[in-house]
């Protein structure tokens, strides 16, 4: 990627090349005790364990398309029209799944920022610390919301009738009315949130600097569950299950208690992503590119390497796995099965 747009997600990243993949951690039995605030606090302390053997192949064996996208393609989201890609250069692109070609580019401009989302008939992205609403049909910017968005939040998730945005240093979570753009809910997280996920299993926020994940009650605007000792949680995927991608592990949490249910010693590294379906958990990391886990037990089923050492995001949509490599200016489209 050109130097002016070098992704801040990649700062300080250590890249490991080749097929000799490093060891990672897995969690021990959780310890749960009430916090001073009365909410349960679960510990998911990791301990060293060797990554198990599983088949690894070059991504070319499953590659459907490889799209060069100058300007640092990173965050991904899908709507009915296709796959949207947030580039560090200040553009949002729509990729048509029928052709795997960019059919619309929207310039949002502003300072470098992270984040994209879809919901309420709009695409949500950012420009500096502003949140930007884009009409997906016309490609027009319809609103710029001066919310002081936290830089690192990559998933501008929608749910519970609101858009959820981390504010300032990430310690405040704002629920935004999607029609008016006004903040209707404010939550003091007690940790510095860096990303979040919303789904049937609730609203969950990861704090990479505080090694913590919290569950927020959106109606009470309170933190209800806190899970500590997760080493650098990076990615959050919430459906009716809760999966956390951390530096050296991927963990499924009990939605009610936050206790670890399944742990894999395959992590996202510092600048990766997570995509979860009924049949697979896809882990994107800088040093392993893509690994598919069995969601029932966290077992690594297969992995794929690529000649793109940078980090990126991963998405499952339109029958394919989509993965970006932000410093290599590439979007991959991969068949999920052989």
Distance CA 235, CA 206 (A): 7
Beta-bridge mates of residue 199: 202
| CB-based contacts of 10, cutoff 8 Å, min separation 6 | 271, 310, 311, 326, 327
Mean pLDDT of 186-213: 98
For the chain, how far is it from start to end, CA to CA, in angstroms? Answer: 31
The pLDDT value recorded for residue 42 is: 65
pTM summary value: 0.88
The H or E element that residue 178 is part of is none
Structure confidence at residue 5 as a pLDDT band (50, 70, 90) = very low
Supply 113's token pair: 């920022």
Q: Are 150 and 169 in contact (CB under 8 A)?
A: yes
Tell me the pLDDT of the chain averaged across its residues.
89
The pLDDT value recorded for residue 37 is: 45
| Residues above pLDDT 90, as percent of the chain | 84
Whether pLDDT at 236 is above 50: yes
Mean pLDDT of 10-27: 34
Q: Looking at 31-45, 128-142, 178-192, 267-281, which range is the least confident one? A: 31-45
Whether pLDDT at 11 is above 90: no
Mean pLDDT of 116-124: 98
Whether pLDDT at 21 is above 60: no
> 3 by DSSP, 3-state: which?
helix
Q: Looking at 44-48, 232-236, 322-326, which range is the least confident one? A: 44-48
| Residues above pLDDT 70, as percent of the chain | 85
Whether pLDDT at 216 is above 90: yes
Distance CA 258, CA 55 (A): 31
The pLDDT value recorded for residue 75 is: 98
């Amino acid at each position: 990627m050109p130097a002016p747009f070098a992704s801040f997600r990649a700062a300080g990243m250590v890249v490991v090349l080749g097929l000799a993949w490093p060891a990672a951690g897995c969690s021990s039995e959780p310890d749960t005790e009430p916090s001073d605030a009365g909410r349960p606090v679960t510990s998911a302390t990791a301990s060293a364990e060797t990554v198990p053997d599983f088949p690894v192949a070059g991504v070319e064996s499953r590659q459907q398309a490889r799209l060069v996208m100058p300007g640092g393609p990173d965050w991904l989201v899908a709507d009915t029209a296709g796959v949207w890609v947030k580039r560090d250069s200040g553009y949002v692109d729509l990729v048509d799944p029928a052709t795997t070609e960019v059919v619309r580019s929207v310039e949002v401009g502003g300072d470098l920022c992270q984040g994209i989302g879809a919901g309420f008939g709009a695409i949500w992205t950012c420009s500096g610390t502003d949140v930007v609403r884009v009409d997906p049909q016309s490609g027009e910017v319809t609103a710029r919301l001066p919310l002081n968005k936290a830089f690192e939040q990559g998933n501008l998730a929608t749910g519970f009738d609101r858009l959820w945005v981390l504010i300032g240093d990430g310690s405040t979570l704002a629920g935004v009315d999607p029609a008016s753009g006004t903040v209707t809910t404010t939550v003091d997280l007690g940790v510095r949130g860096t990303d979040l996920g919303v789904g049937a299993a609730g609203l969950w926020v990861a704090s990479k600097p505080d090694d913590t994940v919290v569950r927020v009650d959106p109606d009470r605007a309170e933190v209800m569950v806190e899970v500590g000792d997760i080493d650098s949680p990076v990615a959050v995927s919430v459906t009716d299950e809760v999966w956390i991608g951390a530096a050296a592990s991927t963990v499924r949490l009990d939605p009610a208690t936050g206790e670890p249910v399944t742990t894999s010693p395959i992590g996202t590294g510092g600048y990766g992503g997570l995509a979860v379906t009924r049949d697979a958990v896809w882990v994107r990391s800088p040093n392993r590119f893509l690994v598919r886990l069995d969601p029932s037990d966290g077992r690594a089923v297969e992995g794929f390497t690529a000649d793109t050492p940078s980090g990126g995001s991963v998405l499952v949509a339109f029958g394919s796995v989509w993965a970006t490599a932000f410093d290599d200016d590439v979007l991959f489209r991969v068949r999920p099965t052989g």
